[in-house]
Amino acid sequence: MSSVAAPAMAGESSKPWYKILYVQVLIAIVIGILVGWLEPTFATNEWIKALGDGFIKLIKMVIAPIIFCTVVSGISHIDDARKVGRVGIKALVYFEVVSSFALILGLVMGNLFQVGRGLAATPDASAVASFVKQAEAQKSVDFVLHIIPDSVVGAFARGDILQVLLFAILFGFALMYMGERGHKLRDIIDETSHAVFGVIAIVMKAAPIGAFGAMAYTIGKFGPAALTNLLSLIVLFYATAALFVFVVLGLIAKVVGFNIFKFLAYIKDELLIVLGTSSSESALPQLMEKLERLGCSKSVVGLVVPTGYSFNLDGTNIYMTLATLFIAQALGVELSFSQQITILIVAMLTSKGASGVTGAGFITLAATLAVVDPRLVPGMAIVFSIDKFMSEVRALTNITGNGVAAVFVAWWEGELNHEQMQANLNKTIDPSDVETAVTTG
């Protein structure tokens, strides 16, 4: 994306309301809830489920090419290899500090409001057996080895973000060291990224259909009672996530020089897509495009955002500490102070394996529980029925946290255009269409 600043435009108000993407997605979510509630038999039809699953598959189809092109382009456009390492270190420092705040906040809220007390739950271990089996593979050595793909083609075929990221970083450095000889290939990769974003622009037209299918099927399968089942945990998780976004991320935003509420309004399309699909990956390409147009340098966005999807999952971190304490309280298992500190350490490690895919938070929860106290693992069945509704907020918090991370690192690196950022946040230019950046690139 050679141009990160879109030209001044008439703004969203010039569009008919029914053509605005976030309005379409919001209406689709509401219709999905009503259809799932009033016509559960119809809503649980496999074709309705396929609408949501199909949209996520369409997005995941281009995730690997987007990651590869943006990371390679970002690195190869930098003349100094030390800058890549500097940006990477700054991003990792930020990730670890902010992730720690998320984990501690979840632990504090879980201890203050012990919503699991008195539940006297009897878990069904068979309901979570598949998640536990997946979590068993998340040992530190296996995780590190898994980053290295058996083959580059296999990494792209599976859409494994970390593996594609590793190859993209190596390829970007290779182009950098080639100097002038690598510029022609770099330009081809830049143009390829424009074409892939063009695909995203087309796919996003189907976002309302995907959001309708995902929401209708969820409500139809679990019933409206699922919205109130274990309501106290849901409310506590929502409140804690909101506290993290508005206070912790809000303070970070204030340091950089922008308003967190204006930032959330700026990425509202992406947030509503995530709300409908429960996957923060579904909005990753569009988020990267918007962050560039917000004033963050291409190289910072290309390095920070893809890395953040594996190393900066704030919503997942909050969920793991809250859910672990809730399960322990529900099962009557007293966790000592040292065990709670262990939760922080283990959760910090296991969360690195989640990539923003629906259900990843539940798998990492299994890995955390198995290390903290094996007696807690069957208790996952207690939160299994409501995990879908918690995954919504996990994904929303994750994508918001990664967006703020990119802006912060760009500011820290001195590569944030403040005037362009304020123009976008104050809506003096139109940030709503992905096509704008594609056609003006």
Give the whole-angstrom CA distance, residue 117 versus residue 121. Answer: 10
* pLDDT at 208 exceeding the cut of 80: yes
Inter-residue contact 270 to 290 (CB < 8 Å): yes
Burial state string for 41-62 with b = 16 or more CB within 10 A and e = fewer than 16: eebbeeebbebbbbbbebbeeb
Check residue 16 and give its pLDDT. Answer: 78
The class of domain 12-440 in CATH terms is mainly alpha
Give the separation between CA 74 and CA 186, rounded to whole angstroms.
10
d(CA 356, CA 395): 7
Residue type, 2: S
Find which of 2-16, 115-129, 403-417 is predicted with most confidence, using mean pLDDT.
Answer: 403-417
Residue 417 in tokens: 């255009």
Mean pLDDT of the chain: 77
| Spatial contact of 319 and 106, defined as CB atoms under 8 Å apart | yes
What pLDDT score was predicted for residue 10?
Answer: 40
DSSP 386-417: THHHHHHHHHHHHHHHHHHHHHHHHHHTT-B-
Q: Is 117 exposed, middle or buried (0-12, 13-18, 19+ CB in 10 A)?
A: exposed
Go through the chain and tell me how many residues it has: 441
Helix locations, 258-313, DSSP H: 260-266, 268-277, 284-294, 298-311
Higher per-residue confidence, 71 vs 428: 71
Is pLDDT at 321 greater than 60 in this prediction? Answer: yes
The SS3 of residue 10 is coil
Q: What percent of the chain is predicted at pLDDT more than 70?
A: 76
Quote the pLDDT of residue 296.
92
* CA 24, 286, 313, 143 torsion-angle sign: positive
SS3 296: strand
CA dihedral 32→38→41→44, nearest 10 degrees, is 20
Determine how many CB atoms are found less than 10 A away from the CB of residue 321: 26
pLDDT for res 118: 61
Higher pLDDT, 177 or 246: 246
- Reported as a pLDDT band with limits 50, 70 and 90, residue 104 is very high
Task: For residue range 115-146, list pLDDT tens digits in order.
Answer: 777 655 455 555 455 555 555 545 556 656 77
Confidence of residue 252 (pLDDT cuts 50, 70, 90): very high
Q: Please, what is the angle between helix 161-178 and helix 298-311, to 10°?
A: 150
The phi, psi pair for 257, rounded to 5°, reads 115, 25
Lowest mean pLDDT among 81-90, 148-157, 431-440: 431-440
Q: What is the pTM of this model?
A: 0.67
pLDDT of residue 197 exceeding 70, the answer is: yes
Q: In this predicted model, which residue has the larger pLDDT, 173 or 223?
A: 173
How far apart, in whole angstroms, are the C-alpha atoms of residue 106 and residue 236? Answer: 9
DSSP designation for 35 = H
CA distance 199 to 182: 26
Angle at CA of residue 380, ends 375 and 384, nearest 5°: 165
Residue 416, pLDDT score:
92
How do residues 384-401 score in pLDDT, each as one tens digit?
656 666 777 888 898 999
Contact 206, 42 (CB under 8 A): no
Which residues lie closer than 8 Å to 403 by C-beta, 6 or more apart? 263, 267, 287, 291, 305
Provide DSSP, 167-233.
HHHHHHHHHHHHGGGGHHHHHHHHHHHHHHHHHHHHHGGGHHHHHHHHHHHHHHHH-GGGGTTTHHH
Residue 418, token pair as written in the block: 């403040």
Give the pLDDT mean for 79-83.
68
